[in-house]
Amino acid sequence: MLVKTYGAAVQGIDAITVTIEVAARPGASFSLVGMADTAVKESYQRVLSATTQSGFQWPRRNMVVNLSPADVRKEGAAYDLPIAIGILAACELIKPLFPLDKMMIMGELSLDGSVLPIRGALPMAIRARSLGFSALIVPKANVAEAAVVNNLNVYGVENLREVIEFVTGQSQLQPTIIDTRAEFARDADLFDVDFDEVKGQEVVKRALEVACAGGHNILMVGPPGAGKSMMAKRVPTIMPPLTLAEALETTKIHSVAGKLRSGSRLLTRRPYRAPHHTISPVALVGGGTNPCPGEISLAHNGVLFLDELPEFTRQVLEVMRQPLEDRHISISRAKYTLDYPAGFMLVASMNPCPCGYYNHPTKECMCAPGVVAKYLNRISGPLLDRIDLQVEIQPVPFEQLASMRPAEGSAAIKARVVRARDIQAARFRDEPGVHCNAQMNARLLQKHAVLDAECMETLRAAMTKFDMSARAYDRILKVARTIADLDRGLQPDLSVEQAAAMPIERRHIFEALAYRNLDRASWGTAVSKSPF
């Protein structure tokens, strides 16, 4: 007898349908075909033990299990459950009343018949709904994650016996119902940290506000203990809230990577990833023997924080150049090619020199001549080009640290950021794929960042005086456009359409220039005070 059950395989962050065909005829052998990896081939022992523990005698049949399409590699143990149901039905040990061609089943089996969690339940649920399946059976630990997909009955099971009784009509399972929009609003603005805990550093806070408002990458350069990591951890608290589409996409990535906790539902806050500087290139961009999203994809729609940037290996830093520009990463290997999204905001920090005290107001730098420039040169020029804001940080004076006056909180900063993003949304309404100023190309810059004669002369004089390269030109214009949007956002009498059309002014250029510290040819060539 031939029986078909249905599962799914994850490719990238999406799922494709896998048909599990089980043919049983007289004999006593078992074979599994269909480009399965070792974990899938080992399912025989798990399925045998699980069916026996569930009260069934292992059938003495010649069984062939085919995983179709045969040219797609099947990985992991998530096919155990559909293989077990297919074998029991093909050997006529159960008579399904629920049509198996309307049901997608996925789950790993333990030897005692328990169903263990799997990766990628959310993209599988999206695939099942798109193909018209009426039901999806997943492990209990994954049901909340998969149930955010509407118009699909998602059932969570704890053991093989539950599945058998459900498909044979002996018992009923209740589908898990989740209000996606209510879930999306849950805990969206709850954070453990806030910018009101940061004393002083008003210039850096302003730079981070500009970065979040325009989606710009930012590098903070300062001595140890100046608060670089502390402020970086608070960046997600001032970023615009996730849209529902962004939340679903972000959750899919974390689901595929197996980073969702048991019982997790929709991710409601922007991700914050902070890998250690010993990370490998594959761990950063993704891929591997069993392809998995890397840190840059896990930070999609959120923040990737690289602390002590020069300590990362040159190879690790250079693989980020293309994702920073294209906002996605293509991983090509001999046996597969995958695309992962990588639309993250890079926040990086570094000491100004190996000893950490170059440009310090009170401590003397102990580095030899030329060491400061050599330390900065660990970061290549092309990568530095893609960092829009380069901010120098000075230590906080004691008076500010001891002050009891409350600092401005994240909520107030976030309100200004959201207003600026609304202005950009109005500006780029007819530009698909462009959502913030950092994504503008040359054509959009010529259209939305036009400078008058006074602003152009200011920019020309600054670039000549500080010996800035031409590659900084576009970045300065983008940042100035964002500063102008923040400025216009403070004027409640302007509509977002009117604010989007307002020109860049000279003061906006001045502020944008102040955020390009490392472009100055004199930076790092001698031990001196801050170049501000």
> Does residue 262 carry a pLDDT above 80?
no
Distances (CA, A) of 301 to 84, 296, 304, 309: 39, 10, 10, 21
Instruction: Please compute the mean of the pLDDT values over residues 276-293 and round it to a whole number.
Output: 90
Supply the DSSP string of 143-197, one letter for each residue: HHHHTTSSSSEEEEESBHHHHHHHHTTSS--PPP---HHHHHHTTTT--S--GGG
Using 50, 70 and 90 to split pLDDT, how confident is the model at 187?
Answer: low
* pLDDT (tens digit per residue) in 348-361: 999 999 998 888 88
* 3-class SS string, 23-36: EEEECCEEEEECCE
**Could you report the per-residue pLDDT of 429-441, keeping only the tens digit for each?**
999 889 999 999 8
Mean pLDDT of 280-298: 91
| pLDDT tens readout for residues 62-81 | 999 999 999 888 999 999 99
Q: With bands split at pLDDT 50, 70 and 90, how would you rate the model's confidence at 525?
A: low
How far is it, in rounded angstroms, from Cα 259 to Cα 107? Answer: 17
Task: Read off the tokens for 218.
Answer: 């930012």
Give me the pLDDT at residue 521, please. Answer: 53
Residue 156 near residue 176, CB atoms below 8 Å:
yes
Q: Which residue has the tokens 């709904």?
A: 129
CA dihedral 408, 410, 415, 419 (to 10 degrees): 110
In this prediction the pTM is 0.89
83: nearest Cα among 96, 69, 64: 64
pLDDT at 526: 45
83/196 Cα distance (integer angstroms): 55
- pLDDT range class, residue 311, cuts 50, 70, 90: very high
Question: Quick one: tokens of 222?
Answer: 């300062």
Query: 272, 236 in Cβ contact below 8 A?
Result: yes
User: Is the CA virtual torsion 81, 84, 88, 90 positive or negative?
Assistant: positive
Residue with tokens 């603005």: 189
Q: What percent of the chain has pLDDT over 90?
A: 64
Give the number of residues written for the chain: 532
What is the SS3 assignment for 246? helix
Mean of per-residue pLDDT scores for the chain: 90
Q: How do beta strands 29-33 and 14-26 pair?
A: unpaired
Residue 84 has pLDDT above 90, yes or no: yes
Residue indicated by tokens 């798109």:
130
Residues 6+ apart with CB under 8 A from 518: 219, 221, 376, 384, 390
Distance CA 211, CA 347 (A): 9
- Give the count of beta carbons closer than 10 Å to the beta carbon of residue 280: 14
- Stretch 313-324: mean pLDDT, rounded? 92
Six-digit token string for 116: 């263990």
Q: How far is CA 113 from CA 79, 93, 411, in A?
A: 14, 17, 49
Cβ within 8 Å of residue 114, ≥6 positions away: 158, 159, 160
Tally Cβ neighbours within 10 Å of residue 529.
Answer: 9
pLDDT > 60? residue 469: yes
- Locate tokens 């570094």: which residue? 350
| pLDDT score of 531 | 36
**Beta bridge pairs of residue 218:** 347, 389
Q: Is the pLDDT of residue 517 over 90?
A: no
Question: Residue 523: what pLDDT?
Answer: 59
For residue 139, what are its two tokens? 């492990």
First vs last Cα of the chain: how many Å apart?
80
Closest CA to 194 of 156, 231, 142, 150: 231
Give the pLDDT confidence score for residue 101 in this predicted structure. Answer: 93
Pairing of strands 328-332, 337-341: antiparallel
User: What's the rounded Cα separation, in Å, for the pair 306 and 276?
Assistant: 8
- Judge residue 191's burial from the number of C-beta atoms within 10 Å of its C-beta, 0-12 exposed, 13-18 middle, 19 or more buried: middle
**pLDDT band with cut points at 50, 70 and 90 for residue 362:** confident
Lowest mean pLDDT: which of 85-99, 455-469, 504-518?
455-469
Q: Which of 102-111, 190-199, 313-322 has the lowest mean pLDDT?
A: 190-199
- For 217-241, the pLDDT digits (tens) are 999 999 998 889 999 999 999 999 9
Q: DSSP states of 408-444 as a string?
A: PPHHHHHHHHHHHHHHHHHHTTTSTT--SGGG--HHH
Q: Report which DSSP code applies to 265.
A: -
Residue from 71, 87, 72 nearest 4 by CA:
87
Distance CA 485, CA 460 (A): 22
SS3 273: strand
For 19-42, the pLDDT digits (tens) are 999 999 988 889 999 999 999 999
**Which pLDDT belongs to residue 40?**
94
